[in-house]
Structure 1
Amino acid sequence: MNKKIEHPDNVYTQQVKKLLDKVSPVDGRSPSLYADAKNYFSLTPSLISHIRELEAKRQSALTRETSAVDIGELQQHIQQSKQKLEDERLARIARVNEVSRHIIELCEGDSYEETQTQSARFLGTLMLLTQGPATGFARLHQRLKPLYKAVLLLRLVDKLLQDETTSHPYLALYRPSLARMSGDEHWQKKWQTELAIPLISSALLQDIGLQHNDAQAILLGEKRNLDEFRLLEESQRKQLLKLNYLHTMSYLKRGLGQPVYEGDNTEEQHRFDKTHEAANQFREKLMYDAFVSKTGLGELLKIPQIYVSIILSTKHDYTRKELAKGYLLIEQLAKKGGLNTKLAQAFMKIVGFFPQGFGITFIPVNERGEEKKQFEYAIVNQLNPKNPGEPHCRVVSRNLNFVTSGGDEVIEKGRNLFFPANQKKLMRIGRDRISEIMSQLQSNFNDKSVDGLAPPYWEPADYFAEKKHQNLWKRGPK
């Protein structure tokens, strides 16, 4: 009898990984949102051309008084080809909706507070699947970005609705949608169909135009042998942006379009068509403005995009130490007038200085509140910090030994070793001890990196890889 092999991940982490594969799998041929787009860009044009050829033959046959049987066969082929085209379109819509609903299941809770915790869990899990600048990190980051953006966008819109700081006519209609978190089933369904799915799909498909062959030729070269994450020449970058815009908008309008009502109730069909027409128009306006920056609506999508470009950077010089720059970049752009100040401030309140899943090293205190001459490890595990520089974390070590029962703690700025002034408090606490613990914490640890100071942060991916350590969001002891 075969022994049952325990899955190395808990159920939630497994679900996030499966969702990642539904969007952008390692094997690009597997069914996914990205595979759908690639097929649409590469195969659909030939099917459309085939239909046109058949229609031309049918028209020619009519003028030549061809037999009714031959004309009927042509008409049948035309209908079959058109049906294939429509079936593929509806299948693409169905996959977008399926993925969007799965995201909602993983990041929404039964209350506002639980939704924030579930969203932190989703974002933190994505971050903890990465290993910093390890081999292949750029491709993994590229796969993670759409999902990360989608959840940030949902939480940003919720915050605007909660604070009543949006005047956009479509968004304003959904101010009551926060009632969904109090069990209001009407608003749960209405919010999901009319607002959440348009928002999520905008984030997931923002760069889908890059799957077009013309864009791939720039990224990979004509022979498909170039590094797509290299620094592009200015002319290439501009051309790529243009292609992404053109093909992304085309995909939204023609590759997806509106779903089809299934039923025979005329009144319901009219309502269904009007609802989805409005939702699609909102999605297209949001995406359009994220590219061309005309009305300000696109900043809803643009701000998470800018943030994620730092948090999950694909640049060769990526380092975890730069992650806090995501917050700082949004702050600076807002101050310089490059972003809407209210939107930027709302976003910064959500994310704080340190992203979810970031490894914090800090100075603990004793029962009297006095700082100890040692440091411990924690992982950022909640959104909406009261002070942006003081993250809410799960403590994961005690006396520099890993524990699974650590409590939650807000790490004050004066005890966070990310800030250089605090490192001086612990100078020369023991180089050998630091080397010992750091080698346990990360597989790519280099002993030469220990210089006598406590580390300003740590890499928690190896820690999180163990199933017993993946419950960082379950309420722990205070």
Structure 2
Amino acid sequence: MNKKYENPDNIYTQQVKQLIEMVHPQDPEQASVYEDARRYFALTPSLEAHAHELKMQLGALQENTKKEEAFLHLKDQLKATKKKLEDERLQRVAKLRDVSLRLLELCEGDTFEETQLLSSKFLGTIMLITQGTERNFARLHQRLKPLYKAVLTLRLVDRLLEEESISHPYLSHYRESLNRFRGNYFWQEKWQTELAIPLITGAILQDIGLQHPDALLILNGKENDQDEFRLLEETQRKLLLKLNYHHTMSYLQQGLGLPAYIGNDKAERDQFFKTHQIANQFRQQLVKDAFVSKSGIGELLKIPQIYVSIVLSTKADYDRKSLPKGYMLIEQLAKKGALNPRLAEAFIKIVGYFPQGFGITFIPVNERGQEKNQYEYAIVTQLNPKDPAEPMCRIVSRNLTYISSGTAEIISKSRNLFFPANRQKLMRVGKDRLIEIMSQLSNNFNSEDIDNLVPPLWEPNEFFSNKRNQNLWNRSL
């Protein structure tokens, strides 16, 4: 008798993975947001040209009564072509809305605190399904970026609304949107439709122009044999930037448009279209400014994009040790005036040094608060640390043994082995003892690891791959 299949992931992790597949799937031919864009770029121009040709032929036949049958046939063809174009457009819009609503289900709660925790959970889950520099890591990271950026953008805007530091004409209308956390249904709906979905889809589609055949030709080469993540020549890079900008904006303006209205109330319909038209214009302005940096509103996308380029880097020299540089890069760019200091400060307060899902190694303390001569493992599980260098974590080992029900704890900077001075403390323990510790905590420990006996971090993917260990966010600090 066949054993019933059991999914290796819990429900939440399954939902995150399903959403990733809906946006940027492993199989490029699979129906998704990205496949929609590739299809639009590849096929829509010929369909539009066909419609134009039919229209021209109709014009030529209109005065010829002897060819009425041919005229009617062409008219039906034109109608069918236009319907196909419109149906596909509406399907693209509907899919983006569906993706947005699913993302909100996973990262948005009934209260501000629950929303922060769920957002931490979403971002942490994404990081924990990555495997460092395992084979094809760049491709995986590329697929994860859009949704990761989207959640960070939502939380950045919430932070700015909370601080009442938004002056943008469109965003200023939503200063009261945090009332959605007080059970205000009006603001829940208004925020979702007019702010959240434009922000999410703007983040997801920020670089959608790279799916255009001309951009893919540069990335993949004529024979489709080039590494798309290679370092491009300067001329190629500049051309790719132009193509990305042009086709991204084209897709936002011509490839999407307004959703379908369902109902028969004219006043309601007019308001529906007006609301969505304004929201679409905001999204276009948001994405455009992320490219050209004129009004500053684009930094709501640009700052998360820069951060994600480090945390989910696709570069060949990707290293987990470099992940805290995401925080530092944003901080440095703000100091140099390359980013709005207020927005940058709001952002780094959210993320801290260590990304969600980062594997922390630390020195535990005994009942008297004295540091032990060993280290344990923890995973960063909450946004908004009070001190950027002291992450809020879930402890996942005790006395050198993995546990699935560890407590939540703030790991102080003085006990975090990421910082070299703390690693020196354990160097006094002795080589044999450190080898014993590592062999108990790591299934993959081998003699080559002896030179790194006090690791500055650890790789939690294997731990998280066990369904029992995926409930890291059950209890908050």
TM-score w.r.t. length of structure 2: 0.97
The residue aligned with 2:352 is 352
- In structure 1, stretches of 5+ residues that fail to align are none
Are 2:40 and 1:37 equivalent residues in the alignment?
A: no
CA contact (8 A) 2:311 2:323 kept: yes
CA contact (8 A) 1:156 1:347 kept: yes
Q: CA deviation at 1:175?
A: 1.1
Are 2:271 and 1:258 equivalent residues in the alignment?
A: no
Q: CA deviation at 1:53?
A: 1.6
2-side partners of 1:418 and 1:402: how far apart? 20
1-side partners of 2:445 and 2:311: how far apart? 21
Corresponding residue SS for 1:458: coil
The residue aligned with 1:170 is 170
CA contact (8 A) 2:401 2:441 kept: no
Q: CA deviation at 1:429?
A: 3.2
Corresponding residue SS for 1:294: coil
- Amino acid aligned to 2:179: A
- Amino acid aligned to 1:300: L
Corresponding residue SS for 1:381: strand
1-side partners of 2:384 and 2:363: how far apart? 22
The residue aligned with 1:362 is 362
CA contact (8 A) 1:229 1:314 kept: yes
Corresponding residue SS for 2:394: strand
CA contact (8 A) 1:430 1:452 kept: no
Corresponding residue SS for 1:454: coil
The residue aligned with 2:243 is 243
Q: CA deviation at 1:432?
A: 5.2
Could you say if the C-alpha distance between residues 74 and 385 of structure 1 is closer, same or farther in structure 2, counting changes exceeding 3 Å? Answer: same
The residue aligned with 1:294 is 294
Corresponding residue SS for 1:393: strand
The residue aligned with 1:460 is 460
Q: CA deviation at 1:439?
A: 5.8
Q: CA deviation at 1:260?
A: 2.8
The residue aligned with 1:218 is 218
The residue aligned with 1:196 is 196
Q: CA deviation at 1:222?
A: 1.1
Question: What is the RMSD computed on CA atoms of the aligned residues?
Answer: 1.5
Q: CA deviation at 1:62?
A: 2.2
1-side partners of 2:446 and 2:220: how far apart? 33
* Cα deviations by residue, 1:418-477 (Å, 9 ceiling, x for unpaired): 00000010005354554565467667655313326411000000000000000000017x
2-side partners of 1:422 and 1:297: how far apart? 41
Question: What pairs with 1:42-53 in structure 2 (closer than 5 Å)?
Answer: 42-53=42-53
Question: What pairs with 1:306-321 in structure 2 (closer than 5 Å)?
Answer: 306-321=306-321
CA contact (8 A) 1:423 1:454 kept: yes
CA contact (8 A) 1:119 1:151 kept: yes
Q: CA deviation at 1:258?
A: 1.3
- Amino acid aligned to 1:109: G
* Cα deviations by residue, 1:327-368 (Å, 9 ceiling, x for unpaired): 000000000000000000000000000000000000111111
Q: Aligned residues, how many? A: 477
- Amino acid aligned to 2:170: Y
More deviation in 107-116 or 46-55? 46-55
More deviation in 261-270 or 244-253? 261-270
Corresponding residue SS for 1:361: strand
CA contact (8 A) 2:323 2:355 kept: yes
Could you say if the C-alpha distance between residues 310 and 39 of structure 1 is closer, same or farther in structure 2, counting changes exceeding 3 Å? Answer: same
* Cα deviations by residue, 1:311-342 (Å, 9 ceiling, x for unpaired): 00000010000000000000000000000000
- Amino acid aligned to 1:459: E
CA contact (8 A) 1:261 1:269 kept: yes
CA contact (8 A) 1:149 1:304 kept: yes
1-side partners of 2:121 and 2:181: how far apart? 17
The residue aligned with 1:279 is 279
CA contact (8 A) 1:138 1:229 kept: yes
Question: What pairs with 1:130-141 in structure 2 (closer than 5 Å)?
Answer: 130-141=130-141
TM-score w.r.t. length of structure 1: 0.97
- Amino acid aligned to 2:148: Y
* Cα deviations by residue, 1:86-140 (Å, 9 ceiling, x for unpaired): 0000000000000000000000111111100000000000000100011110000
Could you say if the C-alpha distance between residues 432 and 35 of structure 1 is closer, same or farther in structure 2, counting changes exceeding 3 Å? Answer: farther
The residue aligned with 2:13 is 13
2-side partners of 1:14 and 1:236: how far apart? 38
CA contact (8 A) 2:392 2:410 kept: yes
Percentage identity across paired residues of the two chains? 63
Question: What pairs with 1:19-418 in structure 2 (closer than 5 Å)?
Answer: 19-418=19-418
The residue aligned with 1:426 is 426
The residue aligned with 2:451 is 451
1-side partners of 2:106 and 2:290: how far apart? 26
Q: CA deviation at 1:78?
A: 0.4
More deviation in 213-222 or 57-66? 57-66
Could you say if the C-alpha distance between residues 103 and 436 of structure 1 is closer, same or farther in structure 2, counting changes exceeding 3 Å? Answer: farther
- Amino acid aligned to 1:67: K
- Amino acid aligned to 2:255: G
- Amino acid aligned to 1:233: E
Corresponding residue SS for 1:231: coil
Corresponding residue SS for 1:360: strand
CA contact (8 A) 1:423 1:453 kept: no
1-side partners of 2:86 and 2:194: how far apart? 23
